[in-house]
Amino acid sequence: MRKVGVPRDVNAAELKRDLDAVFGDFKRLCNDPNVRKDVDKFARVSGYLSAEDLETQFTC
Amino acid sequence: MGYSPQAQYIIDYLIDTLIAKTCIIENEYVDKDYLIDYSGFFARSFERIERFTKRIHFFSNSFSQEDFEQSISLFQNNIQDTKFEHDLINDLKKSYLGYVVIKPVEYSMGQPLIGRTILKPPSKSVNDSFDTRECIIRKSNANLYGIQLNVDALPFQVQDSAVAACATVSLWMANSKINELFGTQEFSPIEITSRATEFIESGRNFPSTGLTVKQMVNFFKGIGLDYDTVNIDHLAKILNDNNYSENKKALIEEYLKEVVPDAVKAISRAGIPIVASISLIRKDHDLIEDHEHHAVVICGFRQNENGQVTKLYVHDDQIGPYCRVKDASPTGKFLKWNNEWVTREGYSEVTLDKLLIPIYPKIRITFDIIYSYCRQLRSLNPGLNFDLYLTTVQDYKKMLLRLPFKDKVSKLKESMPRFIWVISVYKGESLVREWLIDATSHHMRIFNEIDYT
């Protein structure tokens, strides 16, 4: 079972500082239009259904 | 139940996993799904086919038919006796494992077809292990001679090739949960096939020869839903295409490593069953002899104490409910499957081609979009673990209520969107933060942070 809270062997203040920094980076990533452009481009590839894909018939 | 492979699988599952001891057979049961299929197809056949089905209820307690009948009889005479009610009815209710409907239609080998089957999933905890199982369930009940019996499980049934093939049955199994989640209508297999094939298509609608991917997504759209796709097959083809750069290929290779377990965990948490398109390949001396497309429903997974998915559970109408799938892929996790198709049916390879995810249209941030951001967080912060899941405001607040975190009261009081993507941040095995993204927004809007430190 996974636990909740600061692990025993970790300095709480240091962890908080690190997490705040990661959160800041995450917010910047989310607001960066260039990142979003790349993300959308990849999603169009991974979620793309070609005409051939659409005609795949499940015969089992 | 007969001797069809699915019946044998269900019997083994009942004995080995659910430890069933007793069953009660209702010899004349009116099953709504079968009745609709009957009126739409069999009623106009010359052959005499029964309208009634048989329903078998299973219990983990041991009791004889005589004891059971005597108990019911006594119960009628002692209706005011609450202690008696407690002893008799509660014991039955507690030990209820679910039911199997047997249709009067014969399988090609002369065996009866398995209809609506609602059996308890394997338990959450795993004996002698820290592993846990997560299965998608819906609330179901059965009324046996006036006794209300409850079972939480995802319904299963075997295809009746007159009105449905594997794709229709997969949609039926998925829809049985989706209608609870998103309020869509319930449909019988014949209704699903009719809706999915209402546009002009090549081939006959009935007897069903099997739906196409297009017909499956038509069905989702037709019931007011949308869908997300993870097209593994397409990405795998790019890896072998010389027109693509090495950079692009490396990106795809990295993506394929974890996308299946990550998608299953993220989507199953919201209770959404994923329809998986798989290829069954039979080879003779490395040459493909047979290649068939099959649709199944991913209804759960098993994870170890680090949260890594070690097994998938699928409802496969050709095998049975909660079939265990082991990873057989040397490259990305669960891109190739090892299950009964290989061990029992003798296929050389089972590959996962696509994941079709039925989605409520208000969930506008797709899995692929949010997953890309999650993967970037992982690559930038190797000292932390990031998990992704979709949830609803009700479920999320229910979970929050049970956990300790900063500003608990004010966070619980805040209004939140109906659908939420959650990125959980772990330090080692400990959950330390959660970042909440509005799934109903058209852009990546982080609207809250939960601090568990």
Using the 3D structure, point to which of B305, B324, B359 is the last residue of a domain.
B359
> Using CB atoms and an 8 Å cut-off, which of residues 83-122 of chain B contact chain A?
none
Looking at per-residue pLDDT, the higher value among B111 and B314 belongs to B314
- Asked whether residue B187 carries a pLDDT value surpassing 80, the answer given is yes
Residue of B357, B408, B427, B431 for testing the chain A interface, max A β-carbons within 10 Å:
B427
Strands B430-438 and A3-4: parallel
Residues B355 and B252 in one domain: yes
Does B201 contact chain A (CB < 8 Å)? Answer: no
* In-domain check, residue B344: yes
Residues B230 and B318 in one domain: yes
Which chain B residues touch A26 with a CB distance below 8 Å?
373, 377, 423, 435, 446
pLDDT value for B73: 81
Nearest CA in chain B to A43: B368
What is the pTM assigned to this prediction?
Answer: 0.94
Query: Binning pLDDT at 50, 70 and 90, where does residue B185 land?
Result: very high
Please state the rounded mean pLDDT for residues B85-98.
82
Average predicted confidence (pLDDT) for chain B: 93
**Intra-chain end-to-end CA distance of chain A, in Å:** 39
Nearest CA in chain B to A57: B212
Cα–Cα nearest to B305, from B385, B190, B214, B207: B385
Please state the rounded mean pLDDT for residues B98-105.
96
pLDDT value for B85: 54
pLDDT value for B284: 85
pLDDT value for B68: 87
Flag if A29 and B426 touch (Cβ within 8 Å). Answer: no
Does B23 contact chain A (CB < 8 Å)? Answer: no
- Residue B417: which domain range? 383-451
Cα–Cα nearest to B174, from B355, B369, B1: B355
**B6 — phi, psi (to 5°)?**
-70, -40
**Intra-chain end-to-end CA distance of chain B, in Å:** 54
Distance of residue B309 Cα from the nearest chain A Cα, in angstroms: 14
Q: The tokens of B447 are what? A: 């609207």
d(CA A34, CA A20): 23
Cα–Cα nearest to B225, from B167, B173, B178: B178
- Asked whether residue B419 carries a pLDDT value surpassing 90, the answer given is yes
d(CA B433, CA B424): 6
Flag if B354 and A26 touch (Cβ within 8 Å). Answer: no
Residues B409 and B312 in one domain: no
Looking at per-residue pLDDT, the higher value among B65 and B202 belongs to B65
Flag if A30 and B380 touch (Cβ within 8 Å). Answer: no
Cα–Cα nearest to B189, from B93, B105, B269: B105
- Residues sharing a CB contact under 8 Å with residue B215, sequence separation 6 or more, in sequence order: B167, B196, B197, B201
Residues B258 and B307 in one domain: yes
* Segment B111-161, tens digit of pLDDT: 899 999 999 999 999 988 899 999 999 999 999 998 999 999 999 999 988
Which chain B residues touch A29 with a CB distance below 8 Å?
373, 376-377
Task: Please report, for the domain that includes residue B267, its CATH number.
Answer: 3.90.70
Of A15, A30, A38, the CB nearest to B432: A15
* In-domain check, residue B334: yes
d(CA B366, CA B357): 10
Half-sphere exposure of B162 (CA within 13 A, CB side): 18
Residues B349 and B388 in one domain: no
* In-domain check, residue B133: no
Residues B339 and B273 in one domain: yes
Instruction: Give chain B's domain count.
Output: 2
Residues B286 and B343 in one domain: yes
Residues B340 and B416 in one domain: no
Residues B233 and B355 in one domain: yes
Which residue matches tokens 């790349």? A38
Residues B308 and B404 in one domain: no
Using the 3D structure, point to which of B324, B359, B394 is the last residue of a domain.
B359
Q: The tokens of B399 are what? A: 């979970």
Does B49 contact chain A (CB < 8 Å)? Answer: no
* In-domain check, residue B438: yes
Please state the rounded mean pLDDT for residues B87-98.
86
* In-domain check, residue B233: yes
Query: Binning pLDDT at 50, 70 and 90, where does residue B206 land?
Result: confident
* In-domain check, residue B336: yes
Radius of gyration of chain B (CA): 24
Torsion of CA B317, B320, B326, B327, to 10 degrees: 0
CA B186 to chain CA centroid, Å, is: 16
* In-domain check, residue B253: yes
pLDDT value for B334: 98
Please state the rounded mean pLDDT for residues B388-394.
97
Residues B345 and B388 in one domain: no
Task: Report angle CA B367, B368, B373 to the nearest 5 degrees.
Answer: 100
Which residue matches tokens 């979003």? A36
Of A43, A50, A56, the CB nearest to B369: A43
d(CA B34, CA B52): 9
ipTM: 0.95
Residues B336 and B254 in one domain: yes
* In-domain check, residue B439: yes
